[in-house]
Amino acid sequence: MELEELGIREECGVFGCIAAGAWPSELDVPHVITLGLVGLQHRGQESAGIVTSDGESAQSFKVHKVKWKGCLLFMLLKEGMGLVNHVFSEDSLKKLYVSNLGIGHTRYSTSGVSVLDNCQPFVVETLHGKIAVAHNGELTNAARLRRKLMRHGVGLSTSSDSELITQLLAFTPPMEHDDTPDWVARIKNLMNETPTSYSILVMHKDIIYAVRDPYGNRPLCIGRLVPVGDINGKGKNTSETEGWVVSSESCSFLSIGAEYYREVMPGEIVKISRYDVQTLDVVPRPKGDASAFCIFEYVYFARPDSIFEGQMVYSVRRRCGQQLAIEAPVEADLVSTVPESATPAALGYAQKCGLPYIEVLCKNRYVGRTFIQPNMRLRQLGVAKKFGVLSDNFKGKRVVLIDDSIVRGNTISPIIKLLRESGAKEVHIRVASPPIKFPCYMGINIPTKEELIANKPEFHDLANYIGADSVVYLSVEGLVSSVQESIRAKHDSGNNIKTNKFRAGKVGHCIACLVGEYPVELEW
């Protein structure tokens, strides 16, 4: 919950769609992309953009700028500030027709300020026509790349490191012929220039290329659009394919009539066409390096119904709760949670301890982030206004309250006070993730090291500081084992042949914000 209050968040999400079969297609590509972005709205709420194309020529990204409620909208390249369903009205979507493929992006800002110029997807002209690029992540060597591009005479129009990716893709590799673009060489050149962090969609003519960095730090997966009657009803090879989608998360697939197909693996370059999905190459990590998928995707950022590394996020969060019960049991009468992201962990904790899971708080769903204020007093009042108290459920009882994080310690204190004043006999806090001690430089907005409660003197007596009877975090080892338990079991059994053949090297996760050890050397 405190992650939500403090705005600690993933910075963006990407989504692409391409119609299968004969073109022009009857598939409503703009609406599919819009619904896909709505499903990724938790990953970005400052701006959103869509680029679509008929796929017939490299010049089909026509641009038409108009004013609309303070937003800039484009004919085939359309971007705006705000929520997806506010930016993309029915009338504005009509301007994206006729389209056979497209990519979209929804954004928070980490690198680059929150202005319309930084909205994605970016479009640039190359030797072989226009490309559109959508990027999730943050480059660890962006400053050096920016200087390098400028030394080569490349002017930059935004402060976003995603523009650097777009410009690097426009570079012509030495072995490329003028009449034949070599997109694998261009993408590999980009990957050689920057090790992490990025998941990228690149659209050129009638193709979408899906790319993950060799460390797999940011998620990316592929779905198959099938007839509505065949969803969850038939095997992958027995029903018609209406199109392909690619997304930061699989959570929106069901709402658009898509089945989960597979992940884009770390270092993989995938070509998605109207005909099929094809692996073009896999760029390896330096020898001995493990993959480094962000572990906080499991803890908080992703929607619980998303699938990463062959496992549902909800199941991992539940295992975290079970592990927390093993590490930090306590005599109590009931287990509850701060709604809603910690609910799976609370259920796992209750199951393992043999205690009932009972709700003690109800959330006011109509108070959003617009209410959050920088002033500490207003922030604390905001917590009280976000929740109602179900006092009949816990009066006179000992409560174990599960939360997904305690970052600064400011938002959990008024909740504990609220429960005590409403009749709780004891309030024990259990946190389903380890303490965050270090900032992230790979696409997550985390407060400075000095702001984190784990680095303050108060951390040594945290229970007293926040007003709880006890506070225990899940250990780093406990979190890693909860995340990797299912992955290692599948790897050992050899059941996941399709993905295992691409998953070269050791399986690992980025835990830099917990231990301060980053998967790559940081450059400033």
Amino acid in the structure at residue 6:
L
Determine if the peptide bond prior to 24 is cis (ω within 30°): yes
* Length of the chain measured in residues: 524
DSSP letters for 428-476: EEEESSPPP-S--SSSEE---GGG-GGGSGGGGGHHHHHT-SEEEEPPH
Structure tokens at 355: 């205690």
Q: What angle do CA 497, 501, 507 make, to 5 degrees?
A: 100
Kindly compute the dihedral angle of the four CA atoms of residues 434, 436, 438, 444, in this order, to the nearest 10 degrees.
110
Task: Give the span between the Cα atoms of 131 and 170, in whole angstroms.
Answer: 8
**Catalytic residue (choose from 12, 119, 320, 440):** 12
The 10 Å Cβ neighbour count of residue 137 is 29
> CB-based burial of residue 287 (10 Å sphere; 0-12 exposed, 13-18 middle, 19+ buried)?
exposed
Task: Give the span between the Cα atoms of 165 and 14, in whole angstroms.
Answer: 15
The DSSP output letter for 218 is S
Please confirm, yes or no, whether 440 is among the known catalytic residues.
no
Structure tokens at 335: 């287990």
For the chain, report the end-to-end CA distance as a whole number of angstroms.
32
Determine if the peptide bond prior to 92 is cis (ω within 30°): no
Q: What angle do CA 74, 77, 82 make, to 5 degrees?
A: 70
Q: Where are the alpha helices (DSSP H) in 254-297?
A: 296
Q: Which helix (H) or strand (E) holds 12?
A: strand 12-19
What is the C-alpha R_g of the chain? 23
Catalytic residues: 12
